[in-house]
Amino acid sequence: MPVRGIATTCEPAAKWWLGISHPTLSKRTAAHVVHDGGVTAGVIFDLFGTLTGSEVDRDGHVVALAGVLGASPEDLRRLMRDSFDRRAKGQLGDLRSTFLTFCDELGLSPSLEMLERAIHVRMQAERHMLEPRHGAVALLGTLRDLGIKIGLLSDCTPEILDLWSELPYAALVDCAVRSCDVGWRKPDARMYRAVLEGLGLDASQCLYVGDGSSAELSGAAAVGLRPDLLRVPEEDYFRYDEEPDWAGDTIEDLGQVLTLLG
Domain boundaries of the chain, sorted by first residue: 16-54+131-260, 58-129
Low-confidence ranges of the chain (pLDDT < 70): 1-38, 54-56, 233, 235-241
Q: Please report which helix (H) or strand (E) contains residue 250, including its range.
A: strand 250-251
Q: What is the pLDDT of residue 33?
A: 55
End-to-end, the C-alpha distance of the chain in Å comes to 41
Q: What is the pLDDT of residue 9?
A: 32
Instruction: Give the count of beta carbons closer than 10 Å to the beta carbon of residue 124.
Output: 13
CA atoms of 235 and 52, how far apart (whole Å): 12
3-state percent breakdown (helix, strand, coil) of the chain, nearest 5: 45, 15, 40
pLDDT value at residue 14: 32
Amino acid at 92: L
* CA–CA separation, 177 and 242 (whole Å): 20
What pLDDT does residue 54 have?
63
Architecture of the domain whose range is 16-54+131-260: 3-Layer(aba) Sandwich (3.40)
* pLDDT score of 238: 60
In whole angstroms, what is the distance from residue 20 CA to residue 131 CA? 17
pLDDT of residue 21: 37
The confidence score (pLDDT) of residue 26 equals 34
